[in-house]
Amino acid sequence: MDFFRSIGITEIVFQFMLVNSILGLSIYLTLYTGMFSLANAGFMAIGAYTGVILTQNFDLPLGVALIGGMILGGIIAIPIGFPVLRLKDIYLAIATIGFGEVVRILILNFDTLAESITGQEVKLTRGALGITGIPKITETWQLIVFLVVVAYFMIRLHRSRFGRAMAAIRQDEQAAANMGINVVYVKNTVFIMSAVLAAAAGVLKAHLTRTISPGDFGFDQAVSILAFAVLGGTSTWIGPIIGGFVLTALPEILRDFKQYRGIVNGSILLLVIVYLPGGLVNPAGWSRLWKRLRQSPEAGENHART
Amino acid sequence: MLELEKVTRLFGGLTALNNVNLIVPANKIVGLIGPNGAGKTTLINNISGLDHPTSGQIRLNGAEIQNAPPHRITRAGIARTYQNIRLFSDMTVLENLLIGQHGRGQATFLDSLVFTPRFRAEERDLHERAAQLLERFNLTHAANLRAGNLPYGDQRRLEMARALATNPKLVLLDEPTAGMNPIETQQLGEQIIRLQEDGLTALVIEHDMSLIHQVCDEVYVLNFGQILAHGTPDEIKRDPVVIEAYLGKDEDHGAA
């Protein structure tokens, strides 16, 4: 423990590492099914605000808030998924970024909007300043238990008929449909699962950070979530967990670099993406890199001779 | 078993299929030939639900299926292969065959989560059926190899095995022997005949006339989206209209 603390990983950093790996897993589900969705930050916002309103305005325990946030995230995903998941690749990405912005702006203006409708003063989302003074009630063990449950869920998913259908859709959607897979159903279900997981991470994270504001859940957050999964690798469920851990811990470990921290952090990410395109958890990528490093002096000689 | 009535498919101004009437009787092997661009693959796509006709009807055992989504059509008993192999190439051979059986399965993800008896019985059943198919197509040795790494001929056979995994009544084979040597073609012909022995029906798109002779009970000829001729393989071979479509008009009769 002292070692981790000495390199900058305190308990709160560890807690964020756990939350971010859950976020990485939420986008992993959609990526694994071949859907390039960036809606997760939006669902995270829905979870965070729902959770905080339930614990602060209604004095409910965190467990209830967690379930409430997950349910609301899932319900909102249903009408979003049906029209949006007809799109593919970059078009789906743009549409889901749009969804994230709509969520952010709705939360930003929620109180004003509600006031104009009800005619009474409403103080729920509290506009651009956000909600402050949230007690830090998420415990490390709760996060670990949640992550373990999600990991078990992932393992069983991959061994199931549904999980095989997900992988088939990623590789060839039309061929998957010709195998008797209901592509629309699988895609929408995965989108809902992903939303539920992102919302859960939102609830848990909101009770770590003490404050939340709409700006926390914008495009930056959507890209960070994508980075957890891409850096860790999306060939197995372990990848996004490692990605979430590394990307959260790295800035803390690099504190000694002071003002150059951003540069070092960025360079490490760049190196991983260039030399390990399949992500950190990808044995084939490591062996390819290893071969390349060992062969490079000889290759250089050959090149010089010709 | 399969009936196409006045099936027309327009792509903008292009008529890919024009009033196609075609019948595939139960337990027969029907060939579909025609020059490149005649609309053969479009026809198969329309039957298998990847594409839908602009007008006309497609009936499977009397039920209209022209507007059904592909997974429904597969579950109703139509399987297909592709002209360009479309395996799930990052998965193993075995996994490809398990996915082929998707429509037969009942177990949900929740069954898998808590290992219900239904899940375990079903997985055992799926693996047994996959093992049978592997043996039938001589792929047992390759069960755990990545499908994309198989030699070409094995990939073609795996595609056919995967189509059979869906438990079809009718199999649509889109150029099953493309790129195969004569011996492989002959062996694949035997597999097609075996389908018929097992009580299945097949519609085969093919360019290889020797294979058509080997396996087909009757043949349709498609050209510019229209059915040009229909008959037994021998009749088709002698039909002057078909010869003209493939080889062009004789110079003496050619209109300038």
pLDDT digits (tens, 9 = 90+) for B31-53: 998 888 888 899 999 999 999 99
pLDDT of residue B36: 83
Find the range with the poorest average confidence among A58-72, A121-135, B83-97: A121-135
Is the per-residue pLDDT at B188 higher than 60? yes
| Beta-carbon separation of A161 and B48 below 8 A | no
Contacts of A183 in chain B (CB under 8 A): 71
Q: Is A149 part of any domain? A: yes
Range from A68-72, A166-170, B174-178, B241-245 carrying the lowest mean pLDDT:
B241-245
Residues of A whose CB is below 8 A from B98? 161, 164
H or E segment and range at residue B223: strand B218-223
Task: Judge whether residue A299 has pLDDT over 70.
Answer: no
Q: Poorest-confidence range of A45-54, A151-160, B237-246?
A: B237-246
Contact list, B69 vs chain A (CB under 8 Å) = 177, 182, 184
Asked whether residue B93 carries a pLDDT value surpassing 50, the answer given is: yes
A206, part of any domain: yes
CATH number at residue B206: 3.40.50.300
Q: Quick check: is B155 in a domain?
A: no
Decide if A49 is inside a domain: yes
**CATH number of the domain enclosing A144:** 1.10.3470
Tell me which H or E stretch contains B80: strand B78-80
Task: Report chain A's mean pLDDT, rounded to a whole number.
Answer: 89
Task: Give the confidence band of B243 by pLDDT, cuts at 50, 70, 90.
Answer: confident
Residues of A in contact with B99 (CB under 8 A): 164-165, 168, 176, 179, 181
pLDDT at A213: 92
Answer whether residue B70 is part of any domain.
yes
Q: What percent of chain B has pLDDT over 90?
A: 51
Q: Is A161 on the interface with B (CB under 8 A)?
A: yes
CA distances from B78 to A169, A284, A305, B81, B177 (A): 19, 38, 60, 11, 20
Query: Is B90 within 8 Å of chain A by CB?
Result: yes
Six-digit token string for A75 = 């319900």
B86 within some domain: no
Average pLDDT across chain B, whole number: 88
Answer whether residue B62 shows pLDDT above 50.
yes
**By CA distance, what is B161's nearest residue in A?**
A179
Q: Which residue has the tokens 């290992």?
A: B115
Is the pLDDT at B194 greater than 50, yes or no?
A: yes
Q: What mean pLDDT comes out for the span A219-230?
A: 90
- The Cα A289–Cα B152 span in angstroms is 29
Q: For position A304, what pLDDT does the model report?
A: 47
Least confident of A8-22, A37-51, A115-129, A157-171: A115-129
Q: Kindly list the distances between the CA atom of residue A193 and the CA atoms of A75, A285, B140, in Å, as whole numbers in the listed order.
A: 10, 29, 36
User: How many distinct structural domains can be found in chain A?
Assistant: 1
Euclidean distance between CA atoms A224 and A13, whole angstroms: 16
Residue B112 in any domain: the answer is no
pLDDT on residue A291:
86
Contacts of B112 in chain A (CB under 8 A): 156-157, 159-163
Beta bridge partners of B20: B7
The answer on pLDDT for A167 being more than 90 is yes
Residue A1: predicted pLDDT:
67
Residue of B99, B111, B114 to mutate when probing chain A, most A C-beta within 10 A: B99
Give me the amino acid identity at B197: E
Name, in order, each residue with C-beta under 8 angstroms of A106's C-beta and a sequence gap of 6 or more. A113
Minimal Cβ distance to B71: which of A153, A159, A182: A182
* Separation in Å, CA of B165 to nearest CA in chain A: 9
Cβ contact (<8 Å) for B112 and A167?
A: no
pLDDT score of A47: 95
Range(s) of the domain holding residue B9: 2-77+168-247
Q: What mean pLDDT do residues A120-138 have? A: 85
Residue A274 placed within a domain: no
B chain contacts of residue A156, beta-carbon cutoff 8 Å: 109, 112-113
Secondary structure string (H, E, C) spanning chain A:
CHHHHHCCCCHHHHHHHHHHHHHHHHHHHHHHCCCCCCCHHHHHHHHHHHHHHHHHCCCCCHHHHHHHHHHHHHHHHHHHHHHHCCCCHHHHHHHHHHHHHHHHHHHHCHHHHHHHHHCCCCCCCCHHHCECCCCCCCCHHHHHHHHHHHHHHHHHHHCCHHHHHHHHHHHCHHHHHHCCCCHHHHHHHHHHHHHHHHHHHHHHHHHHHCCECHHHHCHHHHHHHHHHHHHHCCCCCHHHHHHHHHHHHHHHHHHHHHHHHHHHHHHHHHHHHHHCCCCCCCHHHHHHHHHHHHHHHHHHHHHHHC
Interface residue A175 vs chain B (CB under 8 A): yes
Shortest distance, CA B90 to any CA of chain A (angstroms): 8
Determine, for residues A171 and B91 on separate chains, whether the beta-carbon distance falls below 8 Å.
Answer: yes
Query: Is residue A268 a part of any domain in this protein?
Result: no
Shortest alpha-carbon distance between residue B202 and chain A (Å)? 16
Of residues A280 and A189, the one with the higher pLDDT is: A189
pLDDT in tens, B165-174: 999 999 999 9
How many domains, in total, are found in chain B? 1
In a domain, B47, yes or no: yes
Per the CB < 8 Å rule, is A168 touching B80?
A: no
Range of the domain at A184: 2-260
Q: Please give the pLDDT value at position A263.
A: 83
Identify which of B98, B122, B166 has the shortest CB distance to residue A164: B98
Residue percentage of chain A with pLDDT more than 70? 96
pLDDT at B81 over 90: yes
